[in-house]
Amino acid sequence: MPVYNDWASASELVRNLDVALAGKGWRVQVIAVDDGSIAPPPDAIVGLSAIELVEVVELETNLGHQRAIATGIVHAYNSGPFDRLAIMDADGEDTPEALVQLLEAAQGDDGLAIVAQRAERSEGFAFRLFYQVYIRLFQLLTGKRIRFGNFMVLPHGHVRRMVHVPNIWNNIAATLVHSRLPVRYVPTVRGRRYAGSSSMGFVGLVLHGLGAISVFAEIVFVRMLIASLAVLGSAGVGAIMVVALKFLTDTAIPGWATNVMGFLVSIALQAAMVPVLLAFIVLGNRSSIQVLPIDMAPRFIRDCRPLHGLMARADAAE
């Protein structure tokens, strides 16, 4: 779980997780990724019984939500063997009860990623409107549907693949869709924040959406190329019709042909320039060396320290 300053919510979530996981018989460890917080984490979280270890992974700087998650995934992968990795926010909107739902669904599906699909949402009207626009735009540009966010449970095999995929720096959910790994949806209800307000404003939401679309950059390029060619062809047909009306009919509207031809030429030039620019961007990206999370993520980690379960970690090290 990534945390930026909101340690009050993160601590409450860990305690509520401990209650929700009690009696399940699972061995659970929690990794809180400190994404360059100004506020320090608590010295300890006491009174836990179901959770064996709570570890704070302190980053050198603020990487942003998605990159903090990617760094946490790599740290978990490098820390040792596990059956499943859960990714969730630390503010309470991803509830402990919903996590139990995902984990229980994962028990019989070892090869599937279990993702939370929101049956109900608690956000305001503006957020829901933007979310629907994002879903439609994502499908239009990529030809794919994305109906889930970061809240998910991944089997170890999926994690092993994803730490070697550069796209998890941009968006975890979109990378999972792009990877074609099998997914199972579990309906959940989004909770409410324990404290404070979200630090992600409208600009952050837009960048989050663009990050998801960027995972499918090559597909977006092809679809925009086809659209540009269609526009270019339509402009060509329109130009032929203008010439035909001008010279093959008796229609006489002073200046109309020149104005329409100028408009069509402008559209044609823009339609031709878009795929050219996109081609340079996409081909340049293909030829560049991709930064693998498994190699780069450890460089962002300054320190790791336990908030709970120091003896459990010491025993494991022995």
Share of the chain above pLDDT 70, in %: 86
Per-residue b or e along 58-77, where b marks 16 or more CB atoms closer than 10 Å to that residue's CB: bbeeebbbbbbbbbbbbbbb
- Strands 113-120, 183-189: pairing is parallel
In tens, the pLDDT along 8-50 reads: 999 999 999 999 999 998 999 999 999 999 999 999 998 899 9
In 139-152, which positions are buried (b, 16+ CB within 10 angstroms) versus exposed (e)? eebbeeebebbbbb
* Highest mean pLDDT out of 92-101, 190-199, 207-216: 92-101
pLDDT tops 70 at residue 284: no
Task: DSSP letter for 195, please.
Answer: S
Which range in 56-70, 183-197, 227-241, 262-276 is most confidently predicted, on average pLDDT? 56-70
Q: What is the pLDDT of residues 150-194, one digit of tens each?
A: 999 999 999 999 999 999 999 999 999 998 888 999 999 888 888
Each residue's pLDDT tens digit, 289-317: 578 999 999 999 999 999 887 544 444 44
Question: What is the radius of gyration, based on Cα positions, of the chain?
Answer: 25
Give per-residue pLDDT as tens, 63-78: 999 999 999 999 999 9
User: What is the pLDDT, as a whole number, of residue 285?
Assistant: 63
pLDDT-derived band at 120 (thresholds 50, 70, 90) equals low
Reduced to 3 states (helix: H, G, I; strand: E, B; else coil), residue 27 is coil
Where is pLDDT greater, at 205 or 298?
298
- 117-120 long-range contacts (CB < 8 A, ≥24 apart) are 117/147, 117/148, 117/185, 117/186, 117/187, 117/188, 118/148, 118/187, 118/188, 118/189, 118/190, 119/187, 119/188, 119/189, 120/189, 120/190
Determine the pLDDT at residue 313: 46
